[in-house]
Structure formats: C-alpha cells, structure tokens
Amino acid sequence: MSPTRPRPEVPTTESPAALRERFIRRVSAGSPFYRLFDHLPDLAFFAKDSSFRLMCASRRFVERFGFAEEAEIVGKTDFDLFPARLAENFRRDDEDVLATGKPKLNIVELFFTDQGIPDWFVTNKLPLVDAKGKVIGIMGTVQSFEGKKQVLQPYLQIDRALAYIREHFRTGVSITELAQIVHLSPRQLHRKFVETFGASPQAFIMKLRIQAACEALQKETAQITEVAHDLGFCDQSAFTHHFHRHMGMTPLKYLRQFRLRRA
C-alpha cells in the first residue's frame, strides 16, 4: 500500500487573519518555527517573557553559552549569562521594547576582547504579543557583523570604515577622513551607516567610546579624568555629558556602582 498522503484543506470563506490563526493553533509545540534558525549560519534566535527570562532559543544561541539543550537556558536572564555591563545594556533595550511595543532594529552590541579590541554583533528585537494584543515578551535575532556582511554586499565599504574605527576610536576619528578612506562622500558614508546600523557614523563611534569607558571604569584603579583623556574627550565635563546621555547615569555613579559590588 502506498503511504497515506495528507488530504488538502477544503477551501473556506474564512478571512486571512482567521485562517492564519487556525493554522498557528494547529502547530505543535514540538515543531516551533524558530528551529529554522538552527540552519542559518551566524544567526541566533531568542525569546524572553515580560520578566526578561529566556523562554526559547535556537541551537546556535544555546551552544554559544556552553549548553547542550534548550531546556538548560530556559528561565535564565542576561545577568546569568553576560557580564553585568553588557546585561545592563541589553536590559535597557528590552525594557524599551516592552514599554513602547515597538521594535528596535540593527542594534550594534559591542564586545571587547581581552586585548581591548572591539567586536560587534547586530541585534534585532521585536515585541511578542498575546491574542489580545498585549505585549508579553520580546523575540530577537543576534548575528555577528562578519555573518551579516554576507547579506550586505552593497555595503562592504563600511567594513573598511569599521576596521579604521577599531584602530582609531580612542584618539578620534574625522568623518571627512573616514569617508576619504572608503572613497565615499561624507553624505554617502552617513547614508550607508544609517541603512546598515540605524545610526550615523558619529553616533556609532560615540557609542563605541562610551562602551570602552564602561570597560575602563570597572577596573579597580580607574580614575574618571584618566578614562576621559584616554578616550579622546576634550575634558571631563564633555565626557560626563556623553556618558550620562548613553548610560543614564554619570561616570562617577557608574564607577561607584561597580566598586560597591566588589566590596
């Protein structure tokens, strides 16, 4: 006997919304859509509830933290998986998505190697809503910039700009000089950065400098004046202004916060 084939659905007069809802209700919890991400290179998926606990994650996301099974990561928060400084940044973005119900796309998450060299990932976060439209969580993707480059062929000139920024962000980067290096006008460079990262070159560089400041301020011997100078700020007042704008607190409060944790 030949195997039984599934019978086609009888056409109905249901609305597209009702048809989709009925289909989704029939999908088993054992075959979640996000399993698709297991087969996409350099791309990981996650979902959190309204308490910022991980509820779902693709294989690449799970293995990134040394776990073998998805169940091992369920219930954990970013503070269980990342250094506090990174977890705080992620939490602020999550809170914004939950509060506004609006996605945050092309977030550049900056990581620093042991040598103090920045590397970055591109994150997208969208709200998860229930049947009544209430925001009940967040879902998102994380992709290394190296992986994203494969789908950003029109913007590969930015890669040369990023390489230059990695080497010179502490001493200052002239946007005019940066544009010349990649053979673009300043306006073209600005447009490509906004299209790729959702931020201007100036905003991208400032975010990198502030993240580097966060790393430096966590050292036991950190001095705010020295950190400001090492990162190319003209004076401590300018450093404090930009730091507060990005982090929601002054450098002094941030420094004291980490010293209290170590005490």
Q: Whole-prediction pTM value? A: 0.59
Q: Per-residue confidence of the chain (263 residues) as pLDDT tens digits?
A: 445 555 555 555 778 878 877 877 787 777 778 888 888 777 889 999 999 999 999 998 898 888 999 999 999 999 998 877 788 889 999 999 999 999 998 887 776 555 556 667 889 999 999 888 899 999 999 887 665 555 555 556 677 888 888 888 888 788 999 999 888 999 999 998 888 777 899 999 998 899 889 888 888 888 999 999 999 898 899 999 999 998 889 999 988 887 666 55
Q: CATH topology for 152-262?
A: Arc Repressor Mutant, subunit A (1.10.10)
pLDDT value of position 185: 93
Between CA 169 and CA 174 the distance in angstroms is 10
| Residue from 55, 19, 61, 21 nearest 40 by CA | 61
Residue with the two structure tokens 């996605």: 103
**Residues 6 or more apart whose Cβ sits within 8 Å of residue 216:** 222, 227, 230, 231
Gap between the Cα atoms of 190 and 200, Å rounded? 5
Instruction: Report pLDDT for 149.
Output: 57
Decide whether 35-146 matches 152-262 in CATH topology.
no
List b or e across 84-98, with b for residues whose CB sees 16 or more CB atoms inside 10 angstroms: ebbbbbbeebbeebb
pLDDT of residue 99: 95
CATH code for the part of the protein at 35-146: 3.30.450.20
Q: What are the structural domain ranges in the chain?
A: 35-146, 152-262
